[in-house]
Amino acid sequence: MAGPGPSGTVIRVGPYSIRVRSRALVVGGIGALVLVAIIVASLMIGARDPGFGGLAAVLSGEASPSATRSVLGRRLPRALTAALVGGLLGMSGAVFQSLSRNPLGSPDIIGFTAGAATAAVFQIVVLGGGMLATAAAAVIGGILTALAVYWLARRDGVSGGIRLVLVGIGVGAIVSALSALLIARADLDDAMLAQLWSAGSLTGRGWIHVVTLLLVAAVTVPVLCGLARPLALMEMGDDSAQGVGVRVERVRFLVMLVAVAIAAAATAAAGPIAFIAFAAGQISRRLAPVPGVLVGLSAVVGAVLLTAADLLAQHLDVGVRTPVGLVTSVLGGIYLLWLLARRI
C-alpha cells in the first residue's frame, strides 16, 4: 500500500517501507529516457551503421545474419553492460559518500576499486588470468581492501567520516603502487594484458556479463533499499542515529560490505572505471536536492554517464581504440576542476 508522506510517497510492503521522493522520481524517469536514447544510438551508430531502418529490421527479424549478430550479439550486450556497470558504480558511490559524509568518499578514490584492480593484475601476471579467475580476484581484492580500510580507520570502536576517506586514500596509493610494480616485473605479454585491463574497457563484453551483473543487482539492491532508512538517519550524525535505535557500526559495516561487493563486481566486469562512482551521487544531489540517500537516482545517473562515455569512446578518432576508462578519467578530471573552481 502507499500513502502520502511529508516529502514524498511512502510505499509499504509488509514490514518494509520505501519513501519515494517525487522530484527524484521525475528526474529519474527523465534520466531513464535519456539512457534508452543513448542505448538506441549505440545500436544504430558504428562501423557498419545500420541506421534506424536497419535497427528496425534487426528487431523484426528481417535483417541479415551478420547485421543481427552485430547488433544483438555485440552492440546490445556492450551497451547493457555499460548501463549496469555505471548503475552499480553510481549506487556504490552514493552509499560511500553518505557513509563518510564526504563527497570524496567514493570507491574509486578511497582505494576499493584500486584494491580490486590490483588483485586482478596479480591474477593475470602471477597466477595466469582467465576471464572468470580475473573477475573473482577483483571481487575478492575489493572486499579485502575494504576490510583493511575499515579496520585501520576504526578508533574507539568507531569508523567513518574523514578518517575513513584518508585511510582509504593511503591504502589506495599503496595497492596502486603494488599494481604498477607487478606490471613492471611481468612478462611482456602478461604486462600488456594487465595494462589493457587496468585501462577499463567494455570491448568484447557479452551476454554473460549482462546476466552476471543482473544477478549481482538482484541480490544487493534489495539489501541497500532495506538499509536506506538507517543510512539516512546516520547522515545526521552517529549520536543522533543511535538515539533513535540505529546500531551504527553494524549498519555501517554491512552497508560498506554490500557497496564494496557492488563496486568490485562492476570492476570485475569492465576493469577500473574512474569518475562514475565519484560523480553520480553528487550530480543526483544537484538534480534532486532532497534528504536521504538517492540510491536509485544515482544508479540512473551512473548508467547514463557510462553509456554516454562508452559511445564517445567508440567513435573518438584518435588513431587507436580508446578504452572507456580513459574517457571517464578525463571527464572526471574536468569535473573535479570545475568543482574546485566553484568552491575556492
User: Residues 282-333: pLDDT tens digits?
Assistant: 898 888 877 777 888 999 999 999 999 999 988 876 667 788 988 998 888 8
Strand partners, 335: none
- Burial class of residue 94 in the structure, from the number of CB atoms within 10 Å of its CB (0-12 exposed, 13-18 middle, 19+ buried): buried
- Give the number of other CB atoms < 10 A from CB of residue 155: 9
Count H helices and E strands in the chain, helices first.
15, 3
* pLDDT over threshold 70, residue 195: yes
Mean pLDDT value of segment 74-93: 93
197 with 120: CB under 8 angstroms? yes
For 44, 120, 259, the CA distances from 198, given in Å and listed in that order, are: 29, 9, 21
Half-sphere exposure (CA, 13 Å, Cβ side) for 137?
20
Half-sphere exposure (CA, 13 Å, Cβ side) for 294?
29
- 62 φ/ψ angles, rounded to the nearest 5 degrees: -100, 0
* pLDDT of 160: 61
The end-to-end CA distance of the chain, in Å, is 47
Euclidean distance between CA atoms 288 and 292, whole angstroms: 11
268 with 119: CB under 8 angstroms? no
Question: pLDDT-derived band of residue 6, with 50, 70 and 90 as boundaries?
Answer: very low
* pLDDT of 11: 53
* pLDDT of 309: 93
Specify the residue for cell string 576471464.
131
Of 127-136, 157-166, 274-283, 302-311, least confident by mean pLDDT is 157-166
* pLDDT over threshold 90, residue 243: no
CATH 1.10.3470.10 corresponds to the domain 20-343: yes
- Burial class of residue 98 in the structure, from the number of CB atoms within 10 Å of its CB (0-12 exposed, 13-18 middle, 19+ buried): buried
- Burial class of residue 164 in the structure, from the number of CB atoms within 10 Å of its CB (0-12 exposed, 13-18 middle, 19+ buried): buried
